[in-house]
Structure 1
Amino acid sequence: MPDQTPPNIDCDRLHPLLLVSDIPAAVDFYTNKLGFAHGFTWGDPPEMAGMNLGSVSIHLYKGEPKGNYVYFVVGDADALFEFQRSNGVEVVVTPDDRDYELHDYRVKDPWGNELSFGHYIPPIGPPIKIERVDMPVRLEKRLAALLKDLAEHKGMSIDSCLEETLLHTFEVVGNDVGVASPHTKKTHQYIQELKKKHGIDYDTHASYRFEE
C-alpha cells in the first residue's frame, strides 16, 4: 500500500514560468518596460530566460502563450507603476488600496500574461483620542536635521514621526532578538542618503558618547 504521509520537504524558492513566443523580445520588454533585471538566457536559439525583480526570479519559456497570472509583493508599487506606465505598458487595473491590505495594480505583457505588483498597507485601525504634552527636547544638530527631513518625506509632523519611532522600538520581534522598525526598505535607503547629506558619521551607539 502506498505511503499516504507526505514527506516534510524544504522549499526555499519558487520560479513561476510564463510562456512567451519570442524570448529576446520578452527579455527586452521585461527589462526596459517592466523594470526587471536580466538574469540569464538559455539555449541557442533562446528557449528560456530568467528575469529578476529584487530577490525574486521568474522564468520566461518559449511556447504558445496561454495568459498566465503572477503577483509580486514589492516595496513601492506606485514608483514601479509610474515607471511601467511611462513606458507604455498596458494597464489592466490601476493602483488602489484593496480589502486584503495591499495597494496594488495589474498590467499585461504583449503575450497575454498578467502581472500584479503591490505593497502592504499598514493596518491603521480606528482613531485613538490622545492628549499631547509639551516636553523640551534637545537633539544632536545633525540628527535633528535628519529627523526634520524624514518627517517631511513621510508626510508626518516631527511629533508623529518621533511617536512612530518610539512605539516601534518598544516592540520586540524575532524571538526577542530585535525591535520593530516603522520604515520600509525604500525609506531606509532614503535615510542613508539623509545621513550622508547631514554628515552623520557616527554609529548607532554614539549617543552614549555625546558631549556638548
Structure 2
Amino acid sequence: MNAQDTNAGVPAPTVWPTLQAHDAHALIDFLVDKVGFRRAAVYSDGDRVAHAELSWPEGGGVMLGSYQPDSEWSRKPGTLGAYVVSARVDELYERVSRNGVEIIQELTDQDYGSREFSIRDPEGNLWSFGTYRGAPVD
C-alpha cells in the first residue's frame, strides 16, 4: 500500500476487531510500517496505549491498546486471528516479504478461488490476507 491510496468511496467500518498488546506502540509501528495499515487515532500516556484505531486502505480496520489484564474487556495478547481482504494481495505479499515479516503460509491460490497468505506479528497474532470477500448475502 502506498500514500496515494485513499479511503474515498469505501464505507466506514461497522465491525471493529479488537486486540491488546504487551508493546502496543511496537505493534502499531509493525502494522503500519511493515504491513500497510494506517494510523487513524492513537491515544497514549507514555508507554501505554489507551486506544488506537488502524484503518485498512481497502476498508475496515482494527482497534488496539496496551494489555490490561485486570480490565473487564481484557484480551490476551497474541490470540487474534484476522482475515483481511485485499485486491492487491501479490503487492502486499511482496511488501511483507521485503520487510522481513514472518510468513506462516506462503502466497497460494486456494481451491475456493482466493489468493492468500498468512503472517505472524511480533505479539503472536495471526493475519491472513486474501482476495476472498466472503459468501454473497441472499
What's the TM-score, normalizing by structure 1? Answer: 0.49
Displacement of 1:75 in angstroms is 1.0
Task: Write the deviation string for residues 34-56 of structure 1: whole angstroms up to 9, x where unpaired.
Answer: 11111111242422211111221
- Alignment correspondent of 1:70: 82
- Alignment correspondent of 1:113: 125
Q: Aligned partners of 1:85 and 1:52: how far apart in 2?
A: 21
Identity of aligned residues (%): 30
- Alignment correspondent of 1:128: none
Structure 1: which amino acid aligns with 2:112?
Answer: Y
Bigger relative contact order (CA 8 A; separation at least 6): 2
- SS in structure 1 opposite 2:93? helix
Displacement of 1:117 in angstroms is 0.5
Structure 1: which amino acid aligns with 2:65?
Answer: Y
Q: Which has the larger radius of gyration?
A: 1
Q: Aligned partners of 1:98 and 1:48: how far apart in 2?
A: 36
Q: Aligned partners of 1:72 and 1:83: how far apart in 2?
A: 15
Structure 2: which amino acid aligns with 1:52?
Answer: S
Going from structure 1 to structure 2, the CA distance change for 1:61 and 1:46 (only over 3 Å counts) comes to: closer
Structure 2: which amino acid aligns with 1:15?
Answer: W
Task: Write the deviation string for residues 164-192 of structure 1: whole angstroms up to 9, x where unpaired.
Answer: xxxxxxxxxxxxxxxxxxxxxxxxxxxxx
Q: Aligned partners of 1:93 and 1:38: how far apart in 2?
A: 26
Going from structure 1 to structure 2, the CA distance change for 1:84 and 1:66 (only over 3 Å counts) comes to: closer
Q: Aligned partners of 2:121 and 2:52: how far apart in 1?
A: 15
Within 5 Å, give how 1:21-100 maps onto structure 2.
21-44=22-45, 45-54=48-57, 55-63=59-67, 64-100=76-112
- Alignment correspondent of 1:18: 19
Displacement of 1:120 in angstroms is 4.1
- SS in structure 1 opposite 2:54? strand
What's the TM-score, normalizing by structure 2? Answer: 0.73
Displacement of 1:110 in angstroms is 0.4
- SS in structure 2 opposite 1:29? helix
Task: Write the deviation string for residues 100-133 of structure 1: whole angstroms up to 9, x where unpaired.
Answer: 2211000010000000000149xxxxxxxxxxxx
Structure 1: which amino acid aligns with 2:122?
Answer: P
Going from structure 1 to structure 2, the CA distance change for 1:15 and 1:66 (only over 3 Å counts) comes to: same
Q: Aligned partners of 2:33 and 2:78: how far apart in 1?
A: 23
Count of matched residue positions in the alignment of Structure 1 and Structure 2: 110
Q: Aligned partners of 2:29 and 2:18: how far apart in 1?
A: 17
- Structure 1: state its 5+ residue gaps: 1-11, 122-212
More helix by share: 1
